[in-house]
Chain A
Amino acid sequence: MIPPRKPRAIWERFLALVAGATMVMAIGAIFLYVPTDRVQGVVQRIFYFHVPLAIVTFVAFGITAVGSAFYLWRNDPKWDQRAHASAELGVLFCTLVLITGPIWAKPIWGTWWTWDARLTTTLILWLIYVAYLMLRNLTSDPEQGARYAAILGIVGALDIPIINRSVYWWRTIHPAVLVTREGGTGLTDPRMQLTLLVAFVALLLLFFWLLKLRTSQVQLEAQLAETERALLQMS
């Protein structure tokens, strides 16, 4: 059965509008409003993209893990579709973290990459969810692929708390700024805190809007495949 095409919900347009407006505010705050860091100079402004991107990555893979768990439990493909869409976006955001990081590291640390605990565990997270996306297509039975992927989607999320704690558990070159190792925040200026908050909200709203779009696409693809199968059986 093909359900009739639903008009795009009003809240979805509203979400897109708010996400876009917040993004403009975030970019304005990052480039015009927030004061330059005394030690690192202008390049420190990457922080306001880099850190929110990382947090949204964790949200995305968290949704994948929860969706995967519900899929294995309820066996409802809707949950798998949500997990799948969120994993794709998570890989996108994680890739951006792994791009903004080296751009910042090169002028400040003097290297694009080094194998410290936070960088290594973040790269592992990226690899896990790239594997998740590949695993889905490796089996001839798509349902089986979805179940295997769901297991990886749950297990892979265990890396998220490890990444979060890595800068406290091990010696790293990567700093802990939001909550420093001594406690308290490293953002001494309220304008820096506000800018980080706006950038985080903007990227989070962008993520949820993209997630909504991608989830409906994945659902439509599944309906299309089902319709094709039904037609083939008829002919």
Chain B
Amino acid sequence: MKRKARLGFAAVVLVGAVAYLMYTGVRETAVYYITVEEFAQRRHSLVGEGVRIAGRVTPGSVQRRMSPRGEEVWFELGDFQDDGHVTPVIRVFYVGVVPDMFRDEGGSDVIVEGQYDGSILRAQTVLTSCPSKYEAIEPGSDSQGTRK
């Protein structure tokens, strides 16, 4: 009986620990990012806060300039919808190496981590997310990415 009770106790502790790990792991990441629209609605309460925002780079908005600190990149981040309705845009400033998949033309989908200072988003990290569809490259075309 004592053995059974100990086994039961161990089971409860284990289940509890696993559930707790899952809960905290998921809570941290449940809101992995906010959208540009959600950011725009809460923009004033987010000044000085760290945020992670997903959106699409506005085509033609990217400006790059070399500086002693590294490459300075300015771009505008908008929402994913391309149904024509105007969404709010965030000005993003980033110093560092952007991923190869970051493009000006066509509008890359990106996730930007950084701090909002009231007017611009100072990015610490720029991640590019990939499409969930794979298509064969056309033979003889050169539309392939920078990777060879």
Contacts and interface: CB of A to CB of B under 8 A. Distances in A.
B22 to A, nearest CB: 6
For chain A, give the interface size range.
35 or more
B7 interface: yes
For chain B, give the interface size range.
35 or more
B30 A175 contact: no
Interface string A17-40: 000000000000000000111111
A210 to B, nearest CB: 27
B83 interface: no
Given A147-B7, A171-B33, A173-B127, A36 B22 contact: no
Contacts of A218: none
A47 B132 CA distance: 12
B77 to A, nearest CB: 15
A186 B7 CA distance: 46
B29 A108 contact: no
Interface string A111-149: 100111100110010011000000000000000000110
A52 interface: no
Given A39-B145, A110-B126, A124-B21, A170 B134 contact: no
A107 B100 contact: yes
Contact of B134 (A120, A171, A186): A186
A186 B133 contact: yes
Contacts of B70: none
Given A36-B136, A155-B14, A109 B127 contact: yes
Interface in B105-148: 111, 125-138, 143-148
Given A107-B100, A116-B32, A37 B18 contact: no
10 contacts: A39-B130, A41-B144, A107-B99, A110-B99, A114-B127, A115-B28, A120-B26, A121-B26, A124-B25, A175-B131
Interface of B: 7, 10-11, 14-15, 18, 21-22, 25-26, 28-33, 54, 98-102, 111, 125-138, 143-148
